[in-house]
Structure 1
Amino acid sequence: MSVVDALDHTLNGTAFSAFGQHVIWSDIVGNLAGLAALALGWRRSVATWPVQLLSGAILVAAYASAQLGGGVGKQLLVITVAVWGWRQWHRGRQDSGDGQIAVRFATWPERAALATGAAVGTLAVGGLFTAFPSLSWNPWPDAYIFVGTLVAMVAQARGLVEFWFAWLLVDVVGVPLAFDSGLPFSGLVYLVYLGLVLWGMRAWWLQSRRFTPTALTTPAPDGATA
């Protein structure tokens, strides 16, 4: 057995069984890393991005084992956007060096662009998954989560409070889909995500009052830089 095969066997091996479903290691470790990344995002720490990248890499194995092509694609997208977001936050963190970044509410044009991108993207990806059933056995919910995750991460990378609202909408579909797809640990983690999202939304909402709408491109009142 090669190193790659051994790693795949370990990641997709059963950690334990509950309620008639097998919980695999990649599902557990990947989602715990995802929770850590979300918590770091709430703290506005640049470390959220490398942890998110690690989570995405591990969850690729979990979704592949469940034959969820959309989930695999979503995690590959997470990895790509995490690299970009890492660079954005590294450039935009505050002068204090605490690894945090100014946050703000999106402008109406930005909100319109995010909403339009989400709608068009979901239609396009859903159509792709429908045309090629091998990519996903549940095309439209899978497409919704795929695109919703992209929208959320783009908003997060730009320091927009709307990032939390986007994650909330993803969770509404993600919880039942994960349980129905044989990934119960992912479903439970999505429920924990919901609590963190509400907590993080409040924190960013309050924090946004400290910065101007152009906080990511001009110095903030307390000296933070874009």
Structure 2
Amino acid sequence: MNPITELLDATLWINGIPILWREIIGNLFGLACAWGGMRRLVWAWPVGIVGNALLFTVFMGGLFNTPQDLDLYGQAGRQVMFIIVSCYGWYQWSAARRGATSDEAVAVMPRWASNRERAGLVIAAVVGTITCAWIFQSLGSWGPWADAWIFVGSVLATYGMARGWTEFWLIWIAVDIVGVPLLLVAGYYPSAVLYLVYGVFVSWGFFVWMRVQKKEQSKTAKAKQPVLIS
């Protein structure tokens, strides 16, 4: 057995339940990405990409012979989309970071999406979920509607993070609400537990970005105030 195969097949047994180490490690990379995103650090994107690659092999269980032996096309497909969107986010934040002053450590300034941008998110969420549910159901995905929303919501949240929209944290919460029950029933216990952790974490991240946003708005308002000369 070569090292790559050994890594893919490494299994942790808990009360007779097999859990792949790559599922645990992939989710930990995802959690690290979320923490870096909250701190608005560029390295969050490549770290997330590594986790996405690992989790793709987990959710294509029938293809990679996982203990669950289930193909969750939405969960697997969103890992591919994560990688694509993360490359965009990595480029966006890197470009912004290069254009920032040398003493700034962050790559994006949080802001609310405009009404037009919010409308685009809602339309994409509805149309995307219906379309993906039909596709996943045709492919034989397990739990196609929940899988579809998790897929679409995750892509929208990642895109929102790349654009610096504070709303992306709220989209993640909506994804977690659907994701936890789906993964528990499907037997992906580490991912379900990490989704619970994500739920707490993204709630915290939302308030962190809100605080940063209000602080910057206050600075901008003060800078625009006229200076009175007595």
Question: Is the pair's TM-score, using the shorter chain for normalization, greater than 0.5?
Answer: yes
Matches within 5 A, 1:1-226: 1=1, 3=2, 6-18=3-15, 20-65=16-61, 66-93=70-97, 94-95=100-101, 96-133=103-140, 136-211=141-216
TM-score by length of 1: 0.86
More helix by share: 2
Q: Quick one: distance in 1 between partners of 2:9 and 2:176?
A: 24
Q: Tell which deviates more after alignment, 68-77 or 162-171.
A: 68-77
More relative contact order, 1 or 2 (CA 8 Å, 6+ apart): 1
RMSD: 1.7
Q: CA deviation at 1:97?
A: 4.2
Q: Once the two structures are superposed, what CA deviation does each residue of 1:84-124 show, in whole Å capped at 9, x if it has no partner? A: 10001112234234143211111111111111101100011
Q: CA deviation at 1:132?
A: 2.2
Runs of at least 5 residues in structure 2 that lack an aligned partner in the other structure: 62-69, 224-230
Q: Tell which deviates more after alignment, 115-124 or 89-98.
A: 89-98
Q: Quick one: distance in 2 between partners of 1:59 and 1:8?
A: 15
Structure 1 counterpart of 2:226: none
How many residue pairs match? The answer is: 208
Q: CA deviation at 1:26?
A: 1.2
Runs of at least 5 residues in structure 1 that lack an aligned partner in the other structure: 216-220, 222-226
Q: Kindly tell me: are residues 177 and 46 of structure 1, through their superposed partners in 2, closer, same or farther at Cα, counting changes over 3 Å?
A: same
TM-score by length of 2: 0.85
Amino acid of the residue matched to residue 109 of structure 2?
A
**Percent identity of the aligned residues?**
38
Q: Quick one: distance in 1 between partners of 2:215 and 2:36?
A: 20
Q: CA deviation at 1:22?
A: 1.7
Q: CA deviation at 1:35?
A: 0.5
Q: Quick one: distance in 1 between partners of 2:153 and 2:9?
A: 26
User: Which of 1 and 2 has greater Rg?
Assistant: 2
Q: Tell which deviates more after alignment, 20-29 or 55-64.
A: 20-29
Q: Once the two structures are superposed, what CA deviation does each residue of 1:52-110 show, in whole Å capped at 9, x if it has no partner? A: 11110110111112421211111011111111100011122342341432111111111
1:46·1:86 contact (CA, 8 Å) conserved in 2? yes
Amino acid of the residue matched to residue 72 of structure 1?
A
Q: Quick one: distance in 1 between partners of 2:34 and 2:165?
A: 14
2:78·2:151 contact (CA, 8 Å) conserved in 1? yes
Q: Quick one: distance in 1 between partners of 2:23 and 2:188?
A: 7
Q: Tell which deviates more after alignment, 60-69 or 200-209.
A: 60-69
Give the match's secondary structure for 1:36: helix
